[in-house]
Amino acid sequence: MNGSLLQQWINESEEMQRLYAQEKLILEVSERIMDVLEKRNLNRVQLADVLGTSKSHVTQLLNGTRNMTLRTLADIACKLNYRVAVRFTEWRESDDWQHAEAVVHRRRLPLQLSPVDAANGDDWSEPRLLRV
Amino acid sequence: MILIQGALCTIEITQDGLDSRAEAEAAVPNTRKACKAQMLALIGQLAETRTLKSPEQFRNEGQGIFAIKANCGLRAYGWFHRKRRGVFVVSHFIMKKKQKLDPVDLIRAIQNRESYEDA
């Protein structure tokens, strides 16, 4: 994204950079939760049921109109039999580390799980991928 | 013009898209500045994954026109290029309060698509 017109728009002000970082994180977390819901063949109503809340509350969390606390995120992961992995990434790094499919499609390079991730077993929600 | 090249999709933008952005963003209330950033994040995510999972944020409005929707009403309309796979073109931005699609925006996007793809 570096050097792109979108990046120029993000860089228009420090405030925009800060807000973009917030919104990007919210969006990525929401997209990952919806990935897991798809894998589990669950919809928002069913997620709301297991969390003991309403569908509209879940929708607000996923759309970012309501702030999701770390406790709520942990609850969601727990109820879906996952755990949340946190990784800080340098801004200049590509975003695509988190999208295995994207890496495969774009680079068409062989991939392998890192030893750390492999040791965590099959329940690792988004295994980190290393280009070899 | 290329807006961003992502892992699975290249986002391009029409001249109308460039011209309409400032006006649309100017209509965003000062208390909702994050909404502009949300729009940029949605576009960036679309470039990475070629789709957005939330139907409230990425909606097929019919006739191949899609709406990218931020929470405050800021929207970008666009389409997947019919001749170049993996290219999404942003037609124009608007700021609107109501959820329902205004037919004027659908027509505007279709017209932009015709002129952009024929160019």
Give the model confidence (pLDDT) of A23-59 as tens digits. Answer: 999 999 999 999 999 999 999 999 999 999 999 999 9
Contact assignment for A23 to B6 by CB distance below 8 Å:
no
Contact assignment for A102 to B49 by CB distance below 8 Å:
yes
Element (H, E) at B4: strand B2-5
Lowest-confidence region among A10-24, A108-122, B72-86, B92-106: A108-122
Least CB–CB distance from A95: residue in B42, B48, B53: B48
B98: amino acid identity, one letter: K
Cβ atoms of A43 and B41 within 8 Å: the answer is no
B59: amino acid identity, one letter: R
Which residue is it, tokens 């124009």? B92
CB within 8 A of A98, min separation 6: which ones? A28, A32, A126
For CA atoms B49, B55, B57, B58, give the dihedral sign: positive
Which residue is it, tokens 């608007």? B94
Please tell me what DSSP assigns to residue B70: -
Which of B50, B65, B57 has the alpha carbon at shortest distance from B108?
Answer: B65
Which residue in chain A is spatially nearest to B18 when comparing CA positions? A5
Task: List, for residues A84-127, the tens digit of each pLDDT value.
Answer: 999 888 876 555 444 444 443 444 333 344 444 444 444 444 44
**A122 to chain B nearest CA, in Å?**
23
Which residue is it, tokens 């495969």? A104
Task: List, for residues B56-84, the tens digit of each pLDDT value.
Answer: 999 999 999 999 999 889 999 999 999 99
CB within 8 A of A33, min separation 6: which ones? A62, A76
Which residue in chain A is spatially nearest to B43 when comparing CA positions? A6
Which residue in chain A is spatially nearest to B3 when comparing CA positions? A5
B88: amino acid identity, one letter: F
What's the whole-model pTM score? 0.81
How many angstroms separate the CA atoms of B19 and B85, rounded? 25
Task: List, for residues A66-90, the tens digit of each pLDDT value.
Answer: 999 999 999 999 999 999 999 888 8
ipTM: 0.90
CB burial of residue A125 (10 Å; 0-12, 13-18, 19+): middle
Residues of A with CB under 8 A from a CB of B: 1, 4-7, 9-10, 15-16, 19-20, 22-24, 26-28, 30-31, 34-35, 38, 59, 62-65, 94-96, 99, 101-103, 105-106
Band of residue A3 on the pLDDT scale cut at 50, 70, 90: confident
How many angstroms separate the CA atoms of A89 and A87, rounded? 6
CA triplet A43, A49, A50: central angle to 5 degrees?
Answer: 95
CB burial of residue A69 (10 Å; 0-12, 13-18, 19+): exposed
Residue B79 has, within 13 A of its CA and on its CB side, a CA count of 24
Chain A contact present for B51, CB below 8 A: no
Least CB–CB distance from B71: residue in A28, A38, A65: A65
> What residues of chain A lie within 8 A of the CB of B36, using their CB?
16, 19
